[in-house]
Structures are given as structure tokens and as C-alpha cells.
Amino acid sequence: MNRIRSTAAAVAVASVLLLAACAPEPGSTPTVTPSESAVPSPSASPSPSPTASESSAPSPSPTAEPPVDTEMTAGQAGALCVAKHRDEPIEEGITQIGDPTAYERYVEPHWFVTVPAENEFGPLVQLCVLGGTVDAPVWQSVANVSADEVDDAYIERQRSTNEEF
């Protein structure tokens, strides 16, 4: 029986010595070496990968021109009408004397534009009915009429119907 106690005591002493040898020194922190499959710690910030929308095209700046497939604005409709009458005059000897006015229509095409003008016989109004886009305008009508014909009722009729001038 003494022999069993001595062997048990020897095993206990050996276990204590082994544990003491493996234990970290007081005040030190154990070092962990990550393996290749280790998950990064939350403090590490992964580099963001671009999504499909981020990598497809840069975001437009607020001052960028609108895309070509959007409908034209009133200002663009007025400028197109002015240019149409200057570049492809219906009659010679007409001078534009004022800024265009674009009226939004209730039917398509979307814009009715008037441009004050004159010729040797007196005041005129150059007219356009157009829509579409700036790069692909859709022209319905282009005309010159006497300024006497263009009153509020005439303008309202042009905004609501597709009659010819």
C-alpha cells in the first residue's frame, strides 16, 4: 500500500510540475498565432468591394447635362424653335425681336413656342409645336403668323389641340 501511495504521490508531483512548466508567467498574456482560416477581428476593416452600381458608372455631378433620353425642358424647346426659324427660315426678311416663350401643352407634342419677330410689313410671331428630346426633336408645326392672330384664346387652343397653324 505504501508503494501505491508513493506512486500516486509521484504522479501528482509530476503533474503539478508539468502544469507549472506550461503555465504562463504571472503578468504575461498568452500569444495566439492565427491560422490561415482565422476570421479577422472586428477591429480590422475589410476593404470594400464595389457593387454593380458603384462600378458600372460614376455618379453624375449636379451640374451635368441631363441624359439625352429625357424630354426637353421649356428653355430647350424655346432655343430649338429660335434656331429652327433662323437656320431654316420659312420666309426671308424676318428678324426675331424678342425671347421665346414656351407653353406646356396638354397633348403631345409637349411644347408650343412663340417667338416675337417682325418683317417689312410689321410684327409677326414665329410658332413651333415640338416635343421629343433635344437630340431628337419631334416637330409637328413651324410657322410665321401675324401678331394680331396670337391672343390668349389662340395660345390656349394651341396648347390643347393638334390643329395646324
Would you tell me how many other CB atoms lie within 10 Å of the CB of residue 129? Answer: 27
What's the average model confidence in pLDDT over 24-45? 41
* pTM greater than the 0.85 cutoff: no
Q: Which is nearest to 77 in space by CA: 129, 117, 124?
A: 129
The model's confidence at residue 9, banded by pLDDT at 50, 70 and 90, is very low
Say what percent of the chain tops pLDDT 70: 58
The per-residue b/e assignment along 47-71, b for 16 or more CB within 10 angstroms, e otherwise, is: eeeeeeeeeeeeeeeeeeeeeeeee
User: Would you kindly state where each structural domain of the chain is located, as residue ranges?
Assistant: 74-94+108-160
Q: Which of 86, 109, 98, 93 is nearest to 160 (CA)?
A: 109
pLDDT digits (tens, 9 = 90+) for 65-113: 555 568 899 999 999 999 999 999 999 999 999 999 999 999 999 999 9
